[in-house]
Amino acid sequence: MAVRERFVARVMQNPEDFGLTEAKFIHTPQVFTSPSVRLRCQYHCSQMRQSDFVPPHTPRHDETRQILDEYKYGLMLRCEEPFGQRTAGEMWQEFTTNLLRIENESQVRGYTRAFAIGIGNCLYLHHDDSLRPCDFPEKRRPTLEALGIEIHETLEMILWHQHLVRTAEEPFQMFALLLLE
């Protein structure tokens, strides 16, 4: 087995080594896109028009579909953490760091086009109204929704839909898609 396939197998078999709860293989045709998802993101998100990582600056759903069609597969990555131990920002910060580390290691091991999507709202944003360029563009990625990816249907395809229906007592869930080949 090639080095790169061993790495993916390690992420899937030992996700905790990468700060994840679970990793699942996904074929890119199992990733659904819809114009309504991006539209909802465009008009419901307080970050809209604030950067290149949110609508209307992100690719439309049909452009996202074209990009997904260039890849054969990827990994859906999930991390859960109980509420109350850390803030949501701290949880996303760690998730982001882990995803970028996995993306980088995937590239080094032979998946030269590896790209992580779904990191969430920028945790590195300067949060002033200057609209100046981001100081950390290498740490930012668009959310799944900003690209028009229908997360509910996509997670149903890989039998993770139960992680979206939650009560206040259940753990905080974070998802990302790592495109590989």
What pLDDT digit, counting tens, does each position of 32-62 carry?
Answer: 999 888 777 777 665 555 566 677 778 888 9
Q: How far apart are CA 85 and CA 99, in angstroms?
A: 21
Enclosing domain of residue 54: 3-179
State yes or no: pLDDT of 122 exceeds 50.
Answer: no
What is the rounded end-to-end Cα distance, in angstroms, of the chain? Answer: 16
Q: What is the pLDDT of residue 70?
A: 96
Residue 161: which pLDDT band, with cuts at 50, 70 and 90?
confident
- Each residue's pLDDT tens digit, 60-106: 889 999 999 999 999 999 999 888 888 877 888 899 899 999 999 99
Encode 113-138: b = buried (16+ Cβ within 10 Å), e = exposed: ebbbbbbbbbbeeeeeeeeeebeeee
- Domain tally, the chain: 1
